[in-house]
Chains A and B, each alone.
Chain A
Amino acid sequence: MNLNWRLIIKNGLLGGIIAFYLSAIGMAETFSQRYLISTFLSTGQLFVAVGGVTAGILTARALKEDYKKSTAYIGSLLAGVFSSLPLILLIFLIQVLVIQQTGQEVIFRWRDMFVNFSPGLVAMLTFGQGLGLGIPLLILASALLAGLGATFILFPDRLRLAWLNGLIWMLGIGIFSENVTQILGQFGGRGLARFLFQQRTLNPIAAILIFAGAFAIAYFRVHKTVQNRWTGMPARQQKRGRTIGLVLGILLLISLPWMVGQFLSQALFMVGLYVMMGLGLNIVVGYAGLLDLGYVAFFAVGAYTMGILTSTGPLGQSDLSFWAVLPIAVLVGLAWGVFLGFPVLRMRGDYLAIVTLGFGEIIRILATSDWLAPFEGGPQGILHIPNPNFFGITMHQPQTMYYLVVAGSLLIAFVTIRLRESRLGRQWMAMREDEDVAEAMGINLVQTKLLAFSIGAAFSAMAGAIFAARLGNIFPHSFNLLISINALALIIVGGLGSIPGVIVGSLILVGLPELLREFTEYRLLMYGLLLIVMMLFRPEGFLPEETQKRELHADEEELAPLET
């Protein structure tokens, strides 16, 4: 048997380095007590396992073409063995640097530097068995994990998908146990929740049942059968089916907040808010091609307009209702879009990006300063902004506010679609492709750019106004760069210029972090890694617009023959 050792060692070490990294920054130990399935598997262990599994997947994929299956399995197991080496190194580092220093007087305590190099981590990595037995166990476990990773690649297709499906559902329900419990609770399924989970962790029988169910659904290709029957139906029935589907979809959209409970409704509200902003920014970046990194400025403008005009506190300037101020906020946002758009009319590309970023920061800093504090409260912000009142119902729950953002998103989506198909939309896209040519074709660049800027700004201001009315208090720190970045990232992750993409992007980049609140300080780390991984594997986004996709794939076709 002539194995490609270089490749095996390389992939094995790569996986090991991932495991080393996740352990060294504390993700392993911090979550070592957060169990997913009974007490067999914790989230911390899952993080460490990522290394071994990755090693197995990479090796199996590389060996699949040129070798027999059995050889590929053996290669993957060997890669798993190598993937344990960085972890063993970590164990020894902790042993030598940290554990030997404990209780001694030293000038430099390594634990002060590497705060997560703890004895607990060693205990976790050696399965609490001490070094002598623990290290062989770790090697064995790494090899097995790599073998598991290899099965994701090497199993026959049908089995492979079912196997993956089962594992993903089982782990997913384990990770989101709290949310699942909440949803079940809304349906009176407390009993079921109690059967599934013992103190947030899946009970083993439930885990096996979930796995088996998901496995069976994928293995017997239930969705394929449904699809086949659907295509087999006569056209009239299909039409009726579509209407029923639409009605069900609308009903689902309406009843969603009552099905998922308070906490998840708040998450949905945030998702909806970002959909509104994303749709607005999509016009600026996706259609007009103007890279705006200071989008939060308009969000803040909308929120402060709402705050100043409706607050019942000392800073309130009038006692207008939410509904009267909402259009005012939109108009103020529009005006600010023109105002901030004007100076940057002559700038392009990265210069535009950095100047708009500057605007965003300027507005935030001004809002925090003492200078403007008499008008908008400085760092203390504006308090006592009343919740909107809808025909006598005060919308103080996230469930009711959810309808507001859904209505807002639908309105903005409608306007966006109409604009895209209009003359103006075509002018934007022409400008995006080439400014000089667009101008030569008789497009008034000043007007077109300002319209893109100000319409985008107006939508963001609308979102900001709703945000202020939901929270009741606004503070300048809420309007930081992260909001601009989030809005930009979500439209790119979803697919630049695509409206369904905005929704998908917002669910992934806003909804998911809301659900993963328990990961606290590691949430933004995961967000960052997710952005990188997303862009590496799907640079065109999840649901790209057709032209965008074609452009990227045309590139690949051109390059592909050269590289192979």
Chain B
Amino acid sequence: MLKRYFQNISWVDVFLRVFQIAALIVITIGIYNTVTTGRYTSAQWATLVFAGLAQGSVYALIALGYTLVYGILLMINFAHGEVYMAGAFTGVFLAQYLSNIGFLDSNPFLGVTALILLAGTVSTLIAVLLERIAYRPLRGAPRLVPLITAIGASFALQYTFRGLYGAEFRAYPAVKALSGLVNVFGFNVPLVQLVVLAAAVVFMVALYLFVERTKMGKAMRAVSEDKDVARLMGIDIDKVIVTTFAIGGALAGVAGVFNGLFRPQGVYFFMGFFPGLKAFTAAVLGGIGNLPGAMIGGLLLGVFESLFPNLILEGLGIPSANQLRDAFAFTMLVLILIFRPQGIFGERLAEKKA
């Protein structure tokens, strides 16, 4: 029994197992050191968690676009981060205008809704155009080809918006109704983060219901199972794909507005690149092609990213750990894929389809 077991494992398995154990040990030591030295109070940890959740809900909304498209076309829509940028960048002008006339403070709900509508519309338009110009003619080409057009589209969109709106940073105005702190479980949490989290959850639930309950959602699921059979069943594949891109784009636009609401850093033409990469990481984390996976993956990534540099890296004695935040997100991606290549909720896509 044992002998056969040893015969079946290769030295790659051994190496990966050793690697996993080593990673676990390092993480444990880091957490142990940080917790025992008591460097941060629990209130500080709570702040980090809620900031992470808000950031994570933005990642999750973008990740849904990746996962929807990947589920149906088995293609990384590399330019999706730029779709997000398009909405956020356009929205900032309306936000500034509404803030200047005082509408955003007198009618915050209507104001933010208007922002979401505008950003969502712009992002949807861009996503649909992208599909029409860069991806549709290449359906059926080798898989690397649409990846290259996606990369090209990513550059083209970045510099299109640079040409259109200029290269400066532009900040979303603070919404008075959303500033201030709320008490949650005895911790003071900025209201805007809670609102963003709640609103993002609403959008995600809506999307989930759309995909599970409506006829179009059913068609989308059918196409992601098997395009040819779906076509034989009388489903208009092109329409389904365009809808998929449109929904993904709309969610990305919404994410852009949310990001602007709680992050004062401002928006500019290159802002979509890293959130795009991270959202893809989130999608892979949750198991790409899987909708709840993308949502949970996004939230988890946000929290991990905000929490773990302080929790693990400082415990290991690494200076200015927050510089490594981005590296940390990617390291986690690598680790997760080694531990569980199909992601948290994914089926074994990696071997079936890839």
Q: Which residues of A are at the interface with B, using a C-beta cutoff of 8 A?
A: 21, 24-27, 107-108, 112-116, 285, 291, 342-351, 353-355, 357-359, 361-362, 365-366, 368-371, 446, 485, 488-489, 492-493, 496, 521-522, 524-525, 527-532, 535-536, 539, 551-552, 555, 559
Task: Please tell me if the beta carbons of A525 and B133 are within 8 angstroms of each other in the complex.
Answer: no
Asked if B57 CB lies within 8 Å of chain A CBs, one says no
Residues of A with C-beta under 8 A to B152: 489, 527-532, 535
CA distance A559 to B139 in the complex (A): 12
Write the nearest CB–CB distance from B15 to chain A, whole angstroms: 6
Contact indicator per residue, chain B 76-107, by CB within 8 Å of chain A (1) or not (0) = 10000000000000000100110011000000
Q: A357-B277, A371-B324 are in contact. Are A536 and B149 (CB under 8 A)?
A: yes
CA distance A488 to B162 in the complex (A): 25
Task: Please tell me if the beta carbons of B281 and A358 are within 8 angstroms of each other in the complex.
Answer: yes
Write the nearest CB–CB distance from A368 to chain B, whole angstroms: 7
Q: Determine the residue in chain A with the shortest Cβ distance to B326.
A: A365
Write the nearest CB–CB distance from B107 to chain A, whole angstroms: 16
Cross-chain pairs A/B with CB under 8 angstroms, 18 sampled? A113-B165, A342-B15, A343-B338, A346-B12, A346-B16, A347-B350, A348-B350, A350-B70, A354-B333, A359-B334, A365-B324, A496-B144, A521-B167, A524-B159, A525-B162, A528-B155, A528-B158, A531-B149
Task: Please tell me if the beta carbons of B333 and A27 are within 8 angstroms of each other in the complex.
Answer: no
Residues of B with C-beta under 8 A to A365: 323-324, 326-327
CA distance A24 to B161 in the complex (A): 10
Q: Determine the residue in chain A with the shortest Cβ distance to B354.
A: A349
* Contact residue among B133, B144, B330 (Cβ-Cβ distance under 8 Å from A359): B330
Write the nearest CB–CB distance from B350 to chain A, whole angstroms: 5
CA distance A353 to B151 in the complex (A): 13
Write the nearest CB–CB distance from A454 to chain B, whole angstroms: 15
Asked if B337 CB lies within 8 Å of chain A CBs, one says yes
Residues of B with C-beta under 8 A to A527: 152, 155
Asked if B176 CB lies within 8 Å of chain A CBs, one says no
Task: Please tell me if the beta carbons of A489 and B148 are within 8 angstroms of each other in the complex.
Answer: yes
Write the nearest CB–CB distance from B300 to chain A, whole angstroms: 16
Write the nearest CB–CB distance from A105 to chain B, whole angstroms: 12
Task: Please tell me if the beta carbons of B327 and A362 are within 8 angstroms of each other in the complex.
Answer: yes
Task: Please tell me if the beta carbons of B323 and A368 are within 8 angstroms of each other in the complex.
Answer: yes
Residues of B with C-beta under 8 A to A348: 350-351, 354
The 4 closest A-B CB pairs, nearest first, are: A25-B163, A531-B152, A528-B155, A349-B354
What is the interface of chain A mostly: helix, strand, loop, or mixed?
helix
Residues of A with C-beta under 8 A to B324: 365-366, 369, 371
Q: Determine the residue in chain B with the shortest Cβ distance to A436.
A: B351
Asked if B140 CB lies within 8 Å of chain A CBs, one says yes
Write the nearest CB–CB distance from A97 to chain B, whole angstroms: 12
Q: Interface size on B (CB < 8 Å)?
A: 65
Task: Please tell me if the beta carbons of A358 and B148 are within 8 angstroms of each other in the complex.
Answer: no
Write the nearest CB–CB distance from B294 to chain A, whole angstroms: 14
B residues 1-49 near A (Cβ < 8 Å) are 10, 12, 15-16, 19
B residues 305-354 near A (Cβ < 8 Å) are 318-320, 323-324, 326-327, 330-331, 333-334, 337-338, 341, 350-351, 354
Task: Please tell me if the beta carbons of A532 and B153 are within 8 angstroms of each other in the complex.
Answer: yes
Q: A365-B327, A370-B319 are in contact. Are A531 and B148 (CB under 8 A)?
A: yes
* Contact residue among B144, B333, B334 (Cβ-Cβ distance under 8 Å from A291): B144
Q: Which residues of B are at the interface with A, using a C-beta cutoff of 8 A?
A: 10, 12, 15-16, 19, 70, 74, 76, 93, 96-97, 100-101, 133-134, 137-138, 140-149, 151-160, 162-167, 277, 280-281, 284, 288, 318-320, 323-324, 326-327, 330-331, 333-334, 337-338, 341, 350-351, 354
Residues of B with C-beta under 8 A to A349: 143, 350, 354
Q: Determine the residue in chain B with the shortest Cβ distance to A358.
A: B330
Task: Please tell me if the beta carbons of B354 and A371 are within 8 angstroms of each other in the complex.
Answer: no
Task: Please tell me if the beta carbons of A108 and B100 are within 8 angstroms of each other in the complex.
Answer: yes
Q: Determine the residue in chain A with the shortest Cβ distance to B82.
A: A528
Task: Please tell me if the beta carbons of B165 and A115 are within 8 angstroms of each other in the complex.
Answer: yes
Residues of A with C-beta under 8 A to B100: 107-108
CA distance A35 to B111 in the complex (A): 47
Task: Please tell me if the beta carbons of B141 and A539 are within 8 angstroms of each other in the complex.
Answer: yes
Residues of A with C-beta under 8 A to B144: 285, 291, 492, 496
Q: A343-B338, A524-B155 are in contact. Are A354 and B280 (CB under 8 A)?
A: yes
Task: Please tell me if the beta carbons of B337 and A521 are within 8 angstroms of each other in the complex.
Answer: no
Q: A343-B338, A552-B142 are in contact. Are A521 and B151 (CB under 8 A)?
A: no
Which of B96, B133, B162, B319 is most buried by chain A, counting CB atoms within 10 A of its CB? B162
Task: Please tell me if the beta carbons of A362 and B320 are within 8 angstroms of each other in the complex.
Answer: no
Write the nearest CB–CB distance from B26 to chain A, whole angstroms: 14
Residues of A with C-beta under 8 A to B280: 354
Task: Please tell me if the beta carbons of A361 and B277 are within 8 angstroms of each other in the complex.
Answer: yes
Task: Please tell me if the beta carbons of A343 and B19 are within 8 angstroms of each other in the complex.
Answer: yes
Q: Determine the residue in chain B with the shortest Cβ distance to A530.
A: B152
Task: Please tell me if the beta carbons of B163 and A528 are within 8 angstroms of each other in the complex.
Answer: no
Task: Please tell me if the beta carbons of B164 and A370 are within 8 angstroms of each other in the complex.
Answer: no
Task: Please tell me if the beta carbons of A528 and B320 are within 8 angstroms of each other in the complex.
Answer: no
Residues of B with C-beta under 8 A to A291: 144, 147
Other A-B pairs, 7, CB within 8 Å; known A347-B341, A488-B151, A539-B145: A115-B164, A353-B76, A365-B327, A488-B148, A521-B162, A531-B148, A555-B140
Write the nearest CB–CB distance from B56 to chain A, whole angstroms: 18
Residues of A with C-beta under 8 A to B155: 524-525, 527-528, 531
Q: Determine the residue in chain A with the shortest Cβ distance to B322.
A: A369
CA distance A536 to B149 in the complex (A): 8
Task: Please tell me if the beta carbons of B323 and A27 are within 8 angstroms of each other in the complex.
Answer: no
* Contact residue among B97, B140, B163, B277 (Cβ-Cβ distance under 8 Å from A26): B163
Q: Determine the residue in chain A with the shortest Cβ distance to B155.
A: A528
Residues of B with C-beta under 8 A to A446: 10, 12
* Contact residue among A108, A521, A522 (Cβ-Cβ distance under 8 Å from B97): A108
Task: Please tell me if the beta carbons of A116 and B163 are within 8 angstroms of each other in the complex.
Answer: yes
Task: Please tell me if the beta carbons of A369 and B320 are within 8 angstroms of each other in the complex.
Answer: yes
CA distance A536 to B277 in the complex (A): 25
Which of A365, A496, A524, A528 is most buried by chain B, counting CB atoms within 10 A of its CB? A528
Task: Please tell me if the beta carbons of B148 and A351 are within 8 angstroms of each other in the complex.
Answer: no
Q: A351-B284, A358-B333, A552-B142 are in contact. Are A485 and B323 (CB under 8 A)?
A: no
Task: Please tell me if the beta carbons of A492 and B145 are within 8 angstroms of each other in the complex.
Answer: yes
Q: A107-B97, A522-B163 are in contact. Are A552 and B141 (CB under 8 A)?
A: yes
CA distance A107 to B12 in the complex (A): 65
Residues of B with C-beta under 8 A to A535: 138, 141, 145-146, 148-149, 152
CA distance A496 to B351 in the complex (A): 24
Write the nearest CB–CB distance from A366 to chain B, whole angstroms: 6
Q: A354-B333, A529-B156, A539-B138 are in contact. Are A492 and B354 (CB under 8 A)?
A: no
Residues of B with C-beta under 8 A to A354: 76, 280-281, 284, 333
Q: Determine the residue in chain B with the shortest Cβ distance to A353.
A: B76
Write the nearest CB–CB distance from B259 to chain A, whole angstroms: 19
CA distance A539 to B142 in the complex (A): 8
